[in-house]
Amino acid sequence: MKSFGAYISKHLASFTAFILMLLFINGVIFGMTFHKTFTVDYGENSPHIMLEMTAAAISQTGISEEAKQKLHQNNIWAIYLDQNGQSLWSIDLPEEVPESYTIQDVALFSKGYIADYPVFVWNTDDGLLVLGYPKGSYTKLTSNYYSVRSIKTLPFFIIGMLATDLLLLFGAYYHSKRKILRNTEPIVATVETLSNGKPISLRVRGELSGIAESLNKASRILSKQNQARANWISGVSHDIRTPLSIIMGYAEKMAGDKSASCSIREQAKIVRKQSNTIKELVQDLNLVSQLEYEMQPLHKEEVRLSKIIRSYVAELLNAGISETYTIEIDIVPGAETAVLECDARLISRAVNNLVQNSIKHNPQGCEIRIILEDVENFLLLTVADNGVGLSPEKLHELEEKPHYMESTDDRLDLRHGLGLILVRQIVEAHNGLMTIESTLQHGCKTVMNFPK
């Protein structure tokens, strides 16, 4: 769920970053578009600068040639009026522009136009300098008065609006994130449950109801397939038991028949042994299937693991074990009274599978140790031997390559012992973790880690 929330947050953050980037690009485009306004219209050729330059170039005989040249280059005409509104001199004056003005005319054009030419004025000691720019080059506001209070308030207004916009944008982002997560969290949780092979029933209304129904349909199909598979395994296991029991019975009888030859009795013992192996394999297969599809009810109760270990070892020794194998129990101080809520029968089965693995892979004999440790919030149940061990390649195969019950690949080299997968499923059914450690010629150790 956290990863999905991070995914949504990432994309919403990208959306916000896109908006900011868009604003930046707009600013760049604005600067490029109005570059001339700031560099030319308000630069060295601006009306104010040209008025100041021209006024400084005025003399009693007229205006300097340099000033005339610059006015001409910028298509600016000029007229210099005396105190009575009469022209003292002019430069490039258009025909429609008069050379004398009344005081009322001056009052009107000083903030506006003369014959549609935007004009700008400069008052000197001897008269009034008027510069006229080409038609359409500037627009002038004839009633440009503003409240000082409004001008002072404007910066605060802009800052306040920007802050409000940012808060609204963040609010929209947060609301969108919560809405997306609220609508998709049930679906994501259901997908995670379904991916673990567990059935689901999802109820979602609105736009995502179609997805919910599809997931429910997939769950029903998978449940039927799993049920059919488990039933098939259970049925085959049941059908094998009767003929297998007959085979084992006849093999037992032949092995004990003193009138039979030694060769026949030895062969009967092999048949009995292999039949027993098949019986255990069928039992493991059935139990693995039940655990995998959660069809095996766990009869959990609080029991001492030390008691389970001692009971198992006692049964193993009473059943008889070759003298080439030794079984030791090592209960670390503090673990003797450690209690775990578990299915004692399944825990004993897991220990037995590991012990039998050590016996099976070490025909020359070995020492087997069953160790129980109490470490903080965990109980560690270890089955270790000092036998031939496993090569790094074999260990990697056990950890990485799937068992044939879990694999979609039909290659036989993917198969390995069913006993280990059963141990792992028993440990996982108790919310634990199984790890295998081994070095070639230095034994093998399997640790079952159970949370208390």
Sorted by sequence, the CB contacts under 8 Å of residue 152 that are 6+ apart come out as none
Three-class DSSP category at 301? strand
Is residue 223 pLDDT above 80, yes or no?
no
User: What does the mean pLDDT of the chain come to?
Assistant: 82
Identify the CATH number of the domain defined by range 227-292.
1.10.287
CATH topology identical between 227-292 and 301-451: no
Pairing of strands 378-385, 444-451: antiparallel
H or E element, residue 128: strand 128-132
Task: Name all contacts of 352-355 with Cβ < 8 Å and 24+ positions apart.
Answer: 352/312, 352/316, 353/284, 353/419, 353/420, 353/422, 353/423, 354/383, 354/419, 354/423, 354/446, 355/316, 355/327, 355/383
What are the sequence ranges of the domains in the chain? 2-33+146-187, 39-132, 227-292, 301-451
Q: Report, as an integer, the average pLDDT of 248-267.
A: 86
According to DSSP H, which parts of 259-386 are helical?
Answer: 262-292, 305-319, 344-361
**Tokens 């030859």, located at residue:** 261
CA distance 135 to 120: 13
Q: Tens digit of pLDDT for each residue in 78-101?
A: 999 998 999 999 999 999 999 999
Residue-wise pLDDT for 153-198, tens only, equals 878 888 888 888 888 888 888 888 887 777 777 777 887 777 766 7
Q: Which CATH superfamily is domain 301-451 in?
A: Histidine kinase-like ATPase, C-terminal domain (3.30.565.10)
pLDDT recorded at residue 412: 41
How do strand 325-331 and strand 366-375 relate by DSSP bridges?
Answer: parallel
DSSP string, 44-97: TTSHHHHHHHHHHTEETTEE-HHHHHHHHHTT-EEEEE-TTSBEEEEES--TTS
How far apart (Å, rounded) are the C-alpha atoms in residues 346 and 300? 10
* Residue the block writes with tokens 């039940």: 290
Contact 272, 255 (CB under 8 A): yes
To the nearest whole percent, how much of the chain has pLDDT over 70?
82
Place of tokens 């070759």: 322
Mean of pLDDT values over 363-390: 93
pTM, rounded to two decimals: 0.47
Sign of the dihedral defined by the CA atoms of residues 239, 271, 357, 413, in that order: negative
**Tens digit of each residue's pLDDT (9 = 90 or more) over 290-340:** 666 555 567 889 999 999 999 999 999 988 888 899 999 999 988 999 999
Task: State the pLDDT at residue 147.
Answer: 67
